[in-house]
Amino acid sequence: MPELPEVEVTRLGISKHLVGNMVAGVSVHSAKLRSLVPPELAALLAGQKIQSVERRGKYLMLNCSAGSLLLHLGMTGHLRILPGSRSAGPHDHFDILFSSGIILRLNDVRRFGSIHWTSSDPLQHRLLAGIGPEPLTDAFNGEYLYQRSRGRKVALQRFIMQSAVVAGVGNIYAAEALFRSRLLPTPLAGNLSHPDCLKLAGAIKEVLSVSIATGRSKMDFCREGERLAYFAQTLYVYGREGEPCRECGGTIKRGRLGNRSTFFCPACQR
């Protein structure tokens, strides 16, 4: 599933094409995603100018004077900017046609993405209102993490993946941040020391910032051949079971936390 860096890179990649552009029409090729695409979208968006493209957690917000389109990429969704003449393929579900002649197209093989509309403050929408602070803002820091973790009897990696605790941190970047802070994924969050929380909050900020910078240098959202929002980068533990640790040379291990895999170096993380 695309996590915060992939969604942020997507936002940066599409916003320069959309902001100030006027919606000429909407085409829904398949309304059945994780939830049904609102049937009134075509009427609501027609003639609207995109004022901004923002992100909250893993949701994108396309804002105009009439309201906001909320978009979640699900597990396999990705967005592309294409010529308006480009016909839709079998997994292309939703197009916004702009007066400049381009389209914003959602492709989603597994259809776990979703599209929503609100005419009110999008940050108060039921899908966004309960999301915790953005990790790259001053609102998220070691002191905040320490206070939120007190009394929590949940594994540390699962704790920092909870959207109510911090926005947008999924399995990949949780594992990578824990490696950077030299913490194992399995201890209870409530047992974190104050110095550990300072290290972990800093590591989360660092790994997300590095990933966003990497994605910005590699992704081209006008190139149709790039099928997913993910981009190549150097990971230290995630997906590297059995491989040597890039720092100590030990063997990366894989574990389970609920129904999710976790990856760690038993020599570097304690």
Kindly name the residue from 3, 8, 134, 176 that is annotated as catalytic. 3
Q: What's CA 257's distance to the chain center, in Å?
A: 21
User: Is 3 labeled as catalytic in the residue annotation?
Assistant: yes
- Please, which residues have CB within 8 angstroms of residue 42's CB and are 6 or more apart in sequence? 25, 26, 28
The three-state secondary structure class of 141 is coil
Q: Is 32 a catalytic residue?
A: no
Beta carbons of 19 and 100 less than 8 angstroms apart: no
Is 260 a known active-site residue? yes
CB 135 within 8 A of CB 222: no
Question: Using CA atoms, how far apart are residues 12 and 14, in angstroms rounded to an integer?
Answer: 6
Residue in 152, 182, 254, 260 annotated catalytic: 260
How many residues are given for the chain?
270
The 3 state secondary structure assigned to 28-55 is ECCCECCCECCCCHHHHHCCCECCEEEE
The catalytic residue among 58, 180, 199, 240 is 58
Structure tokens at 240: 């590297």
Instruction: Mark whether 266 is an active-site residue.
Output: no
> Distance between CA 125 and CA 228 in Å, rounded?
27
Element (DSSP H or E) covering residue 82? strand 77-83
The catalytic residue positions are: 2-3, 58, 260
